[in-house]
Amino acid sequence: MSSNIKFTTPEEAVKVIKSGDHVHLSSVASAPQCLIKAMCARGENGEIKDVHIYHLHTEGPAPYADPKFEGVFQLDSFFVGGNVRKVTQSGYADYIPVFLSETQKLYRSGVLPCNVAMIQVSTPDKHGYVSLGTSVDATLAAVECAETVIAVVNKYVPRAFGDAFIHSSCIDMFVQDDTPLEEAHFTTPNDVEVAIGKYCAELVEDGACLQMGIGAIPNAVLAQLTNHKNLGIHTEMFADGVLPLVESGVINGMNKTIDKGKMVSTFLMGSQAVYDFIDDNPGVAMMDVGYTNDPFIISRNEKVTAINSALQVDITGQICADSLGTTFYSGVGGQVDFIYGASLSKGGKAIIAMPSVTNKGLSKIAPVLNSGAGVVTTRSHVHYFVTEFGAVDLYGKSLQERARLITSVAHPDHRESLDKASFERFGPHFQYIKMKTKI
């Protein structure tokens, strides 16, 4: 460890935060919880007010978003995660709609100021470099632009390669805290998710370069790829589901055009096994989100296959992925970045996959999106659409053909009402389209 590094306590470090400051927190597993706790203590003591906080999704508690801190902290997140969902929906916190690729641009362009960046890093090496580990995303941009950088040095932060390395001279204050990183565990896919996974896997070709998010459906897709060959990874994030495919050699990156042989990501969310996997692993490049999510960089690889999900889809192919009506549930994230990037890739495939109904049996395929629902992926961006009842290709299809195809993979209990809505919307000619469209 570099002898030039001097440590202080979390309580002393957060004294640099002044009323009215703008603070960035590193994301997901790397949220610096000891600094967050100390900052909130200052808020409770009335030492600061009107502090603006920005971050992507974070794992673990988010006490600064508690309604009791109204007027003290204002959270404007780039993605509405589960730990801040209720307070965002109730108005105590807010959301900045932004493509994940451009979160870094908010800082670098000066649209958002950054007075203090609070991050978590690995133990410094003999050259004085630390790694941002599991969270490069917009955090690197915040470090570059912040007036003051406070870093929690944590032996559990993996030493990741790529853009993750920063020199300790870029950091103003150091705090030691060896608390294990927050882990994310996912449920075993149910029958519906397994069916969706099979249909998606059938669209994945040997040599494809994959992007997929988190949760049961991506894990169900990955579980079906054991007999594929030479798959690559260029994604915004990955989790435990990729590890067996790496170990078996299915994922090797040999067919990638850029970053050949490397798995490229910008943040991680998973178990300790994932964090251990990227530690000192030159086969993984943790990159700036402006690189991983740039559609034109994404498209340089061939056969980019992007698999993303949705909350609701209408019969013309409009994809709502961030809200339930007017109620915000998540965010734009990287869906559009990768849908567009995959569509530009030679042999690429852009896939939207979701269960056909909610847990209460309501159709997630609707004649029109709910009032106030946001269109994340437009009808002109969408290509493949998958439910547990099949996969359909909407690219180049007319509105009436799309309605027929989308209805064909809706839950059988809802197909008649969707057919009726299409007939009412498009007129009697829809019957002709219905007959000629091949499912």
In the structure encoding, which two tokens stand for residue 368, read together? 């029109």
Q: Which of 101, 107, 124 is nearest to 25 (CA)?
A: 107
- For residue 359, give the DSSP letter: T
Residue 364 CA neighbour count, 13 Å, CB half: 23
Beta bridge partners of 23: 53, 116
Known catalytic membership, residue 236? yes
| β 327-328/323-324 pair status | antiparallel
In the structure encoding, which two tokens stand for residue 26, read together? 């590193």
Helices (H), 27-155: 33-44, 85-89, 103-108, 139-145
Q: Which residues contact 165 (CB under 8 A, 6 or more apart)?
A: 129, 130, 131, 132
Q: What is the pLDDT of residue 185?
A: 83
Q: Which residue's entry shows tokens 């994230």?
A: 333
Number of helices (H), then strands (E), belonging to the chain: the values are 15, 26
Q: What is the pLDDT of residue 188?
A: 86
Q: What is the pLDDT of residue 100?
A: 97
User: Which H or E element spans position 197?
Assistant: helix 191-203
Q: Which of 302, 396, 387, 389 is nearest to 352 (CA)?
A: 387
In the structure encoding, which two tokens stand for residue 47, read together? 């030492």
Catalytic pick among 102, 193, 236, 401: 236
CB 103 within 8 A of CB 289: yes
CB 316 within 8 A of CB 422: no
Q: What is the pLDDT of residue 1?
A: 46
Measured distance CA(354)–CA(133) in Å, rounded: 31
pLDDT in tens, the chain (439 residues): 445 688 999 999 999 999 999 999 999 999 999 999 999 999 999 999 999 999 999 999 999 999 999 999 999 999 999 999 999 999 999 999 999 999 999 999 999 999 999 999 999 999 999 999 999 999 999 999 999 999 999 999 999 999 999 999 999 999 999 999 999 888 889 999 999 999 999 999 999 999 987 778 888 999 999 999 999 999 999 999 999 999 999 999 999 999 999 999 999 989 999 999 999 999 999 999 999 999 999 999 999 999 999 999 999 999 999 999 999 999 999 999 999 999 999 999 999 999 999 999 999 999 999 999 999 999 999 999 999 999 999 999 999 999 999 999 999 999 999 999 999 999 877 766 665 665 5
Measured distance CA(158)–CA(236) in Å, rounded: 18
Q: Which of 134, 151, 131, 129 is nearest to 24 (CA)?
A: 151
Rg for the chain (alpha carbons), in Å?
A: 23
pTM: 0.95
> What's the 3-state SS for 329-354?
CCCCCCHHHHHHHHHHCCCCEEEEEC
Measured distance CA(125)–CA(211) in Å, rounded: 32
Q: Cα 82 to the chain's mean position, in Å? A: 13
Measured distance CA(291)–CA(385) in Å, rounded: 27
